[in-house]
Amino acid sequence: MAQIKLSNLRHSYLSKPESDEDYALKKIDLTWEDGGAYALLGPSGCGKSTLLNIISGLLVPSDGKILFDDQDVTALPPAKRNIAQVFQFPVIYDTMTVYDNLAFPLRNRGRDEETVKERVTAIAEMLEVTDMLTTRASNLSPDNKQKISMGRGLVRQDVNVVMFDEPLTVIDPHLKWKLRSKLKELHQRVKATMIYVTHDQTEALTFADQVVVMQDGEIVQIGTPVELFERPAHTFVGHFIGSPGMNVLPCDVKDGGVFFAGERIGLEGPLEDVTNGAAEIGIRPEFVSVSGNGTGLAAQVRKVADIGRHKVVEAIANNSRIHAILEGDAPNAGDQVNLEFKQSQTRLYKDGWLASTPGEGVQ
């Protein structure tokens, strides 16, 4: 168990990187606290897996250091780092039984058979695979194979960190949910630091206490699921988290206020040194209300999607698309409506980054 610190980390897959574009990871500074449940969230190709492989030692970073409890492990191979990693596709040793698969990491490290038996039995119990222990691993279903892969990650008691690289990709949807809650439960029982890489926001938000959002090799925001939802630090986070994502509307900053389609829009609080000119308003669809009473932004409804628990209204105002999530009644497509934004949840973004601060609302 250890605190993991990444300091000034940069990585390029090219031998002679020149510009920033050549880097898959651009300057990462990050500390993972001991025992935390983290998710690393971002779209495909944002550098999540690169970062994970650097922590596990499968990749050596171009620049920067990795510290486990202040000990520099940058040059150590994976086997010496005492970490565990579960991959996207289940990796099992076909010719071994489930028991031998789970015992493999322990036996390789020379543990005596008694300890091996004790640990394997305990892990099998947790994963509910006790009745399969004598089965040959190649005959298992994909979800059970992935359970065994996870088990091999968890079987060593003293690992510094267990990393999961999109482990539910090949799992059937109805089993995904089960395995996800299993993982959460496992984290509470084994208390190891866990890092869960995914591009699926639901997986990240259910598993993690802290979510690290990445884009283009950079960390955009670190926060609890609630923070990411309520105050995205970047419009990217706003887009990426939520379904549909945050509405981002082009606006003008002038005369100490913010204007969209000629109307002044109320913000959550004062602006932080925002120069006049183009900026963006960010508002979650959950905080947009729709009425026909003439107050608020005039818009036309383009379509309404009934997705069960609530309805998603897509409206057009001043050539910008705005989503609203409504409970109960919703207008019909083609209706002229008025949109109102909940002021305490309306934020300003300048060059993509959050520029408003919570406080007294400004009109």
318 CB-near residues (< 8 Å, 6+ apart): 260, 261
Closer of 84 and 129 to another protein (Cβ): 84
CB of 140 to another protein, least distance (A): 9
CB of 118 to another protein, least distance (A): 19
Contact indicator for 251, 265 with CB cutoff of 8 Å = yes
CB of 83 to another protein, least distance (A): 7
CB of 1 to another protein, least distance (A): 17
List 183's β-bridge partners, or say none.
none
Closer of 45 and 77 to another protein (Cβ): 77
Q: Nearest Cα to 313, choosing from 296, 298, 334?
A: 334
Contact indicator for 222, 279 with CB cutoff of 8 Å = no
Closer of 159 and 337 to another protein (Cβ): 159
Structure tokens at 305: 């999607």
Question: Dihedral of CA 123/127/131/137: which sign?
Answer: negative
Closer of 40 and 281 to another protein (Cβ): 40
155 CB-near residues (< 8 Å, 6+ apart): 102, 103, 105, 106, 119, 120, 123
CB of 25 to another protein, least distance (A): 18
CB of 251 to another protein, least distance (A): 46
Contact indicator for 67, 73 with CB cutoff of 8 Å = yes
Alpha carbons 116 and 104: distance in angstroms, whole number: 9
| 3-class state of residue 42 by DSSP | coil
Alpha carbons 45 and 325: distance in angstroms, whole number: 30
Closer of 150 and 317 to another protein (Cβ): 150
Interacting residues toward another protein by CB under 8 A: 53, 56, 58, 77-79, 83-85, 87-89, 91, 93-96, 104-105, 108-109, 135-136, 139, 149, 152
The residue whose two tokens read 């105002």 is 317
CB of 105 to another protein, least distance (A): 4
Closer of 84 and 126 to another protein (Cβ): 84
Contact indicator for 32, 195 with CB cutoff of 8 Å = yes
Closer of 169 and 357 to another protein (Cβ): 169
CB of 96 to another protein, least distance (A): 7
Closer of 2 and 83 to another protein (Cβ): 83
Alpha carbons 314 and 311: distance in angstroms, whole number: 10
List 219's β-bridge partners, or say none.
214
Strand duo 37-41 + 210-215: pairing:
parallel
